[in-house]
Amino acid sequence: MSNKNIVRMCGTEPESIVDGPGFRYVIFVQGCPHKCPGCHNPQSHDFEAGYDLSIDELWEDICRSKAVTGITFSGGEPFCQVEPLLEIAHRAKDAGLDLMSYSGYTYEQLLDRNDPATNEFLGLMDILVDGPFIEAERNLELTYRGSENQRVIDLNKTREADEIVLYRSSFDLDF
């Protein structure tokens, strides 16, 4: 996407309690190169579908919910629109919100891009759920992820330890 002020959207969920810890505003971006069989959001795959939304309009909608504790970037593939999402991420951090993103890419693949915008976006994230959804590894009992191969990475602890540290919630012992 060339316009840094516009996000190609599939939709939003302004009051989610299942897409990350706490009370979250979820941004579902449009477009995904992975097209994982069995994907929970197949309507988000087509890069030409969806609608355009300005960063300002999206931020205004986020601010309408006074109970939100964090934002989750989902899709589609958020890392296909990292530049416009950076603005939302910065505004969210300034407002004291935590950030989480899903990606069909692994953390290592994202780092290997060696892309300044990707690195900056990752640097703002608190949690990353990485890896493609694999239908044969589907497990409905996992927290925040759909298949066994996916990881829920605590990026703050990962940066501190300089190695992958998985996120552990108080109610999840399946890691």
> 107-118 burial by CB neighbour count: b if 16+ within 10 A, else e?
beebeeeeeeeb
C-beta of residue 152 within 8 angstroms of C-beta of residue 175: yes
What integer pLDDT is reported at residue 145 of this predicted model?
95
Residue 91 Cα to chain centre, angstroms: 16
Count of helices and strands (H, E) across the chain: 5, 7
Domains and CATH numbers, the chain: 6-161 (3.20.20.70)
- Check residue 98 and report its DSSP letter: E
Strand ranges (DSSP E) for the chain? 6-16, 24-29, 51-54, 70-74, 98-102, 127-130, 151-154
Give the three-class secondary structure for 63. Answer: helix
C-beta of residue 77 within 8 angstroms of C-beta of residue 64: no
Give the three-class secondary structure for 25. Answer: strand
CA 20 to CA 171: how far, in whole Å? 12
Nearest to 62 by CA among 51, 73, 52: 73
For residue range 86-120, list pLDDT tens digits in order.
999 999 999 999 999 999 999 999 999 999 999 99
Q: How confident is the model at residue 174 (pLDDT cuts 50, 70, 90)?
A: very low
CA 121 to CA 148: how far, in whole Å? 25
C-beta of residue 162 within 8 angstroms of C-beta of residue 134: no
For residue range 115-159, list pLDDT tens digits in order.
999 999 999 999 999 999 999 999 999 999 999 999 999 999 999
Q: How confident is the model at residue 170 (pLDDT cuts 50, 70, 90)?
A: low
